[in-house]
Every structure is written in structure tokens, then in C-alpha cells.
Amino acid sequence: MLYEFRIYDTMPGRLPDLLARFRNHTTKLFEKHGIKNVGYFTTAVGDYSERLTYIIAFESMAHREKVWPAFANDPEWAKVKAESEKNGLLVRRVFNSFQTPTDFSPLQ
């Protein structure tokens, strides 16, 4: 299993809009395209309060390379993204990394 950690720094005041987009649309579109939702997090204590951190999973990098473009090019996603950004961009920066679990990790 390949895990992708993604961090979205939002535009000031736009985190609630981004969370609504994920809650109401993005997670369902991920599932539609075979992307496994693992976890979604906001900062309770510490720096970066305007940030969404999440983890999604793929069978392999080849699987990701197949399904991510399908998600990104989905007309429903384009509509959802455009509607959610009608008052301006939600995300300022995106950081991502790919992780593989250790042999002793409970999450495989």
C-alpha cells in the first residue's frame, strides 16, 4: 500500500470552505475513482491553523498514476472546484509526500 500525505495551506479565512468541499464532494469523488480515504486533520494546537492535512492510499504508484488523472479530469470535480472557488481560491500551497509503512506498522 502506498500512502500519500497531502497538506493544503488555505487562503486566509477559507479553511471552512475547503472542509465543506472535502466533506460534501471530494471524498466521494476519491472513492469513485478508487482512491482510499484514510484520514483528514486540522490543527487543534500549534502552528498552521489554516491547514488541512490528509492521507489517502493507493495500491501502488502505478495505481496512483492511473486514478489521480482520472479524478483530476472528472467533469463533476471540475464543476465542484469551480463552484467552491467562485469567491476566490481556497488553497494557497499544496505539499505532498509518499509514504510506505514499515514492517511493524499497524497500518499496512
Dihedral class, residue 88 (left if φ above 0, else alpha if ψ from -120 to 50, else beta): left
- How many whole angstroms separate alpha carbon 33 and alpha carbon 31? 5
Which tens digit of pLDDT belongs to each residue from 67-77? 999 999 999 99
Which tens digit of pLDDT belongs to each residue from 14-51? 999 999 999 999 999 999 999 999 999 999 888 888 99
- Eight-state DSSP code of residue 17: H
Question: Burial code of 12-35, b = ≥16 C-beta within 10 A, e = fewer?
Answer: eebbeebbebbeebbbebbeebeb
Confidence of residue 108 (pLDDT cuts 50, 70, 90): confident
Under CATH, what is the fold of the domain 1-23+35-56+94-100? Alpha-Beta Plaits (3.30.70)
Count of other CB atoms within 10 angstroms of residue 37: 15
- pTM for this model (two decimals): 0.92
CB 91 within 8 A of CB 17: no
